[in-house]
């Protein structure tokens, strides 16, 4: 029998198609495993899904007021001034964006929080804010946080390449307050702490009552949904009649079929053994999984000539953005791909080589889209097993927004799985949802009088 090592171009490509394929049977298995992990997570048992209570329910659309929002969750930090009119409309008047230097992401925790305070100070100055007045700020902190109330919570573990020391296990609001004090900023009160998924759900829900899921498909991936309090078994003593939004932290779901490429990406990551689903799906890792396959083709002598055999040899030298660009090239002469390859210093690539690159990107991105769709289906089936209601899924993130064909590949899964009822599911971009949504959550906190 032929081993993987001896395969020619056709056999190797067919082999990859097979190991990366997510069939209807796989989707069903993923849904089943999701339900079992969700149940365990909600009951407080060991589970790859943390199912974290967020201390908020869905907004009514009547929340109003002016808030600042601080959004930290990837390589950029953003500050926004958001105004909610109480009738479902929100207006963002100022946005400042700051790039977080890699050494700040991985250095000492205090330095990271001092950097955040510095950004807040620049934002206040640039936007001519009167520092004699007081302002409510909502903090979108897009990492797994064990919340203790709407404006307090401890970081469980860093994800997405952050490793700043001395933060895990600490209350991030306390750390931010201390940094604001060090910087002499007294006009800011932190009114709410929210995960980006919760912000996204709140933002979409503010003007669409059918919205019952917030999903991020960007640098990282995660989702939240409103759960009946009676189902949150790990929570005793709460009024069982209401609902609470649950941050699933689905990036950590680990009941998926890993390939050798996924294993290598995991081994070389800063959080080996964690965030398996995220590493198979999200923008931070998709380029790297794809690069590993490209290198395997090259290594086998199936792609590029000797002159280009060192192509993409360095970790992270092929990005998800590059894949997006390659996927967007529909010309017969692969003009865009050609331009990209030339910029990367590759001059001798044949049309066949370019088509191979495009095909590899298709294989890994379709797998990512199908896994995301399977995960969304699991939540829909959990809350509405017979799919009786309409479901708007608010989605934010560049993978969903910018990757050609990504949302289409997700919708295909819903069609195969739910047949004609699939039309009840709408995937809608919730651009900047996390910032706006955090402001809505701060407004909920202000009305409930629960913020600290
Ligand atoms: C990571 C974080 C999660 C966040 C997601 C999307 O998975 O752990 O909290 O929601 O990225 O930004």
pLDDT, tens digit, 9 for 90 and up, residues 255-278: 999 999 999 999 999 999 999 999
User: According to the model, what pLDDT value does residue 237 have?
Assistant: 65
Q: Is 160 a catalytic residue?
A: yes
In the block, tokens 């007021």 appear at 65
- The model scores a pTM over 0.75: yes
Yes or no: say if 407 and 367 are a contact pair by the CB < 8 Å rule.
no
- Whether 324 has a pLDDT exceeding 80, the answer reads yes
Measure 207 CA to ligand 1 centroid, in angstroms: 24
Q: pLDDT class for 246, splitting at 50, 70, 90?
A: very high
Residue 452 has pLDDT above 80, yes or no: no
> Cβ(296) to ligand 1 under 6 A?
no
Structure tokens at 132: 């004699």
End-to-end CA distance of the chain: 67
- On whether the CB atoms of residues 225 and 56 are closer than 8 A, the answer is no
**Above 90 in pLDDT, residue 100?**
yes
282 close to ligand 1 (CB < 6 Angstrom): no
Q: Measured between alpha carbons, how far is 261 from 295 in angstroms, rounded to an integer?
A: 10
pLDDT score at 1? 65
Dump pLDDT digits (tens) for 123-151. 999 999 998 999 999 999 999 999 989 99
Which residue CA neighbors atom 3 of ligand 1 most closely? 143
The percentage of the chain sitting over the pLDDT mark of 70, rounded to a whole number, equals 98
Say if CB 122 and CB 156 are below 8 A apart.
no
- Whether 73 is in the pocket of ligand 1, judged by its Cβ within 6 Å, is yes
Find the 217 Cα to ligand 1 centroid distance in Å: 9
Is 6 one of the annotated active-site residues of the chain? no
Domains, the chain, ordered by start:
1-52+207-431 (3.40.367.20), 55-194 (3.30.420.40)
* Cβ neighbourhood burial of 191 (10 Å; 0-12, 13-18, 19+): buried
Whole-number Å distance between alpha carbons of 145 and 142: 8
How confident is the model over 36-45, as pLDDT tens digits? Answer: 999 999 999 9
If we measure between CA atoms, which residue out of 428, 441, 360, 442 comes closest to residue 394?
428
Per the residue annotation, which of 160, 279, 292, 354 is the catalytic one? 160
Give SS3 for 84.
Answer: strand
Q: How much is the average pLDDT of 46-55? A: 96
CA-closest residue to ligand 1 atom 1: 220
Quickly state the pLDDT bin for 2 (edges 50, 70, 90).
confident
């Amino acid at each position: 029998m032929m081993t993987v090592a001896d395969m020619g171009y056709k056999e190797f490509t067919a082999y990859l198609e097979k190991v990366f394929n997510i069939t209807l049977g796989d989707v069903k298995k993923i849904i089943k495993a999701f339900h079992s992990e969700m149940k365990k997570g909600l009951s407080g048992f060991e589970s790859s899904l943390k199912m974290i209570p967020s201390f908020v329910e869905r907004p009514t659309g009547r929340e109003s007021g002016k808030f600042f929002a601080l959004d930290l969750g990837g390589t950029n930090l953003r500050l926004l001034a958001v105004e909610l009119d109480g009738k479902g409309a929100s207006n963002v008047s100022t946005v400042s964006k700051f790039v977080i230097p890699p050494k700040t992401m991985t250095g000492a925790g205090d330095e990271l929080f001092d950097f955040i305070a510095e950004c807040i100070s620049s934002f206040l100055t640039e936007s001519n804010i009167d520092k004699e007045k007081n302002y409510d700020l909502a903090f979108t902190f897009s990492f797994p946080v064990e919340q203790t109330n709407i404006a307090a919570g401890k970081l469980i573990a860093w994800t997405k390449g952050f490793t700043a020391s001395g933060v895990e296990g600490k209350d991030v609001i306390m750390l931010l307050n201390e940094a604001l004090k060090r910087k002499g900023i007294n006009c800011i009160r932190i009114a709410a702490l929210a995960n980006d998924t919760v912000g996204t759900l709140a933002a979409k829900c503010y003007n669409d009552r059918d919205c019952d899921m917030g999903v991020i498909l960007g640098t990282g991936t995660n989702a939240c949904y409103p759960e009946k309090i009676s189902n949150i078994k790990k929570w005793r003593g709460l009024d069982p009649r209401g609902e609470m939004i649950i941050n699933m932290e689905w990036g950590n779901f680990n009941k998926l079929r890993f390939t050798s490429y996924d294993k290598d990406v995991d081994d070389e990551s800063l959080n080996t053994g964690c965030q398996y689903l995220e590493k198979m799906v999200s923008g931070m890792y998709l380029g790297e999984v794809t690069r590993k396959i490209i290198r395997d083709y090259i290594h086998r002598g199936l792609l590029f000539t000797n002159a280009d055999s060192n192509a993409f040899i360095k970790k992270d030298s092929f990005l998800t953005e590059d894949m997006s660009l390659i996927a967007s090239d529909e010309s017969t002469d692969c003009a865009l791909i050609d331009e990209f390859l030339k910029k990367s210093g590759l001059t001798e690539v044949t049309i066949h080589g370019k088509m191979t690159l495009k095909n590899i990107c298709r294989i890994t991105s379709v797998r990512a889209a199908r896994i995301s769709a399977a995960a969304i289906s699991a939540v829909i089936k959990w809350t509405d097993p017979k799919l009786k209601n309409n479901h708007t899924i608010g989605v934010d993130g560049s993978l969903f927004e910018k990757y050609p064909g990504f949302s289409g590949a997700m919708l295909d899964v819903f069609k195969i799985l739910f047949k004609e009822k699939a039309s009840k599911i709408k995937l809608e971009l919730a651009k900047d949802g996390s910032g706006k949504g955090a402001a809505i959550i701060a407004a909920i906190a202000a009305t409930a009088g629960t913020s600290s």
